[in-house]
Amino acid sequence: MPPREGRCVYVIDDDSAVLESTAFLLDALGYEHRTFGGAGAFLAELDSLPPGCILTDLRMPAIDGWDLAAELGGRKLGWPMLLVTSDTGPDLAARARDHGFAALLPKPVDAALLTAALDRAFAGSAA
């Protein structure tokens, strides 16, 4: 697959196996990417990162996906965000939208769903 130039995906998850498998998938899809073992590590480097799409887990210690979305919303970052979780529930998709997530993806991440979500996210942003 040809590289998707200028389309960097920032993967945030506290599970190293998920980070590794997601990075492998993004490589196969032609996306640039950086991985972070938690939202705090991502936020610590945020000011030095070029615009991209944030792909974050919901359940993480210290700063979870909801808290990360609130922090980024407060900073008026404007980068697209995708939420990945194994959680289910009738209000989860609505809550994700309310927090500014462009998509809610189930774990494990499906390549076709991820591709479609990333295409929509990058098409709707300046990232």
pLDDT for residue 3: 54
- Per-residue pLDDT reduced to its tens digit, 45-54: 999 999 999 9
Residue 5: per-residue pLDDT: 64
Indicate yes or no: pTM above 0.85: yes
Would 76 be classed as within a structural domain? yes
Q: What is the pLDDT of residue 125?
A: 64
Task: Establish if 68 belongs to a structural domain.
Answer: yes
* pLDDT recorded at residue 7: 86
Q: What parts of the chain have a pLDDT lower than 70? A: 1-5, 125-127
Quick one: residue 100, left, alpha or beta (phi over 0 = left, psi -120 to 50 = alpha)? left
The whole-number pLDDT of residue 64 equals 97
Number of domains, the chain? 1
Instruction: Output the domain CATH number for residue 15.
Output: 3.40.50.2300
